[in-house]
Amino acid sequence: APQFDWTDPLGSKNLLTADELAISETAERYCQEHLLPRVLQAYRDEHYDPQILREMGELGLLGATIDGYGCAGVSSVAGALITRAVERVDSGYRSSMSVQSSLVMGAIYDFGSAEQKERYLPEMAQGKITGAFGLTEPNHGSDPGSMESTARQHPQKPGYYLLNGSKTWITNSPIADVLVVWAKLQDTGKIRGFLVDRKQCPPGTLETPPIKNKTGLRASITGMIHLQDCPVPQENMFPEIEGLKGPFTCLNSARYGIALGTMGALEDCIARARTYALERKQFKGNPIAKYQLVQKKLADAATDAAYGVLAAIQVGRLKDQGKATPEMISMVKRQNCDRALHNARVLQEIFGGNAVSDEYGIGRHVANLYVTQTYEGQSDIHSLILGRAITGIQAFV
């Protein structure tokens, strides 16, 4: 007779292919053996080890859904199972990987010239080149269409653009070798994407200071991008794509990865809370897991995780069949981030005072999940994307 498995309550494994299960196992093993042992210290020190991308590259985990260029060419679901494995350890490690894989390699793969793809993708797949994605600006986060960064023809050097502007809250920017920067062409006002290659930038034209003392995502590195008359050759501009469609197309893949990724973080919260509840005894030697209110917290969280996993797998399948809409991705990104954050906060209560010790890991997930609910479209912004699709009326402005 079938047995209930609290780690996979609705049997989502039955929806996966043998290849997807194998990829998931490889990723889970690497993350538990190599990332988990270093995350506590990394989080305390607010330190990101760039070697991690190399290690992921060696295992074929970077840009995994891309075909060719040394990438694995796996399904969207398999790619998201990788993000789930990484985020089970820490959303910051997943963040760094998502930016590399979905936002930078994805942008180059979708919009780059043949030469740009050859130049960057193979080494990015190996983690030898690190990428960052600059869309958000100090004055424009939810509304990137109002960005102030500009690109104008270089007055002295034909075939070059001069980039000016600032981006903020940019994952990987302080350590990135190549930064995808979205800026408006000064003459037309159209948004275009540029590959700003650090080694091509003269001193003083590109600065990427870190943002220190974060209260979440401390195991990833985040910074700003300042461009001051930074000369970028025209061959580093994405040749065709213009408008917000460019950055948003990349965001579709990254948002999809976050939908299953955050379920990994939630599942880790459930596993930690369950263990704690079984071991902690209060009132006549009873484990607190015996008390109904504690059981309800675990039941609610396990239900939301199980539903979230199934929904994400369904959207991934449609994505690979060319049937997924951006609104579907908004729905699973919003729901899974919201439920992961809500349940993590409730499960934190099970740890009592010990939740306040970083040794228990639960506070780290809660702080991280706040960020996942905020970046790649804050949840209320996704509500408005869905509201627009449902009513036909846009409520942003």
Instruction: Judge whether 376 counts as a catalytic residue.
Output: yes
Helices 362-374, 326-348: axis angle to 10 degrees equals 150
Interface characters, 86-125, with ligand FAD (x: CB under 6 A): -------------x--------------------------
Interface characters, 129-158, with ligand FAD (x: CB under 6 A): ----xxxx----xx----------------
Residue 322 burial (C-beta neighbours within 10 Å; 0-12, 13-18, 19+): exposed
| Residues binding ligand FAD: number (CB under 6 A) | 21
Of 136 and 335, nearer to ligand TGC (C-beta) is: 136
Q: Among 131, 75, 122, which Cα is nearest to 103's?
A: 131
The interface partner of residue 98, options being ligand TGC, ligand FAD, none and the CB cut-off 5 to 8 Å by kind, is ligand TGC
Question: Can you tell me which of 35, 97, 170, 366 binds ligand FAD, judged by CB under 6 A?
Answer: 170
Amino acid at 236: N
Residue nearest to ligand FAD (CB): 141
Of 60 and 264, nearer to ligand FAD (C-beta) is: 264
Interaction of residue 374 with ligand FAD, rule CB under 6 A: yes
What CA–CA distance (Å, rounded) separates 251 from 123? 22
What CA–CA distance (Å, rounded) separates 263 from 122? 30
Pairing of strands 150-153, 160-171: antiparallel
**Shortest distance in whole angstroms from residue 198 CB to ligand TGC:** 19
Pairing of strands 150-153, 178-185: parallel
| Coil vs helix vs strand at 284 | coil
Question: Can you tell me which of 29, 279, 380, 394 binds ligand FAD, judged by CB under 6 A?
Answer: 380
Amino acid at 287: P
Q: Among 84, 141, 76, which Cα is nearest to 106's?
A: 76
Within 13 A of 18's CA, how many CA atoms are on the CB side?
Answer: 0
Tally of CB atoms within 10 A around 357: 11
Of 74 and 251, nearer to ligand FAD (C-beta) is: 251
Of 133 and 351, nearer to ligand FAD (C-beta) is: 133
What CA–CA distance (Å, rounded) separates 360 from 352? 11
Q: Which stretch binds ligand FAD (CB under 6 A): 69-77, 167-175, 274-282, 340-348?
A: 167-175
Interface characters, 172-191, with ligand FAD (x: CB under 6 A): --------------------
Q: E strand or H helix at 260, and its extent?
A: helix 245-279
**Shortest distance in whole angstroms from residue 345 CB to ligand TGC:** 21
CA dihedral 135, 140, 142, 143 (to 10 degrees): -90
Q: Which residues sit at the interface with ligand TGC, rule CB under 6 A?
A: 95, 98-99, 133, 135-136, 142-145, 171, 243-245, 248-249, 251-252, 254, 326, 375-377, 381, 385, 396
- In the complex, which residues of this chain contact ligand FAD (CB under 6 A)? 99, 133-136, 141-142, 169-171, 217, 222, 371, 374-376, 378, 380-381, 384, 396
Residues with a catalytic annotation lie at 376
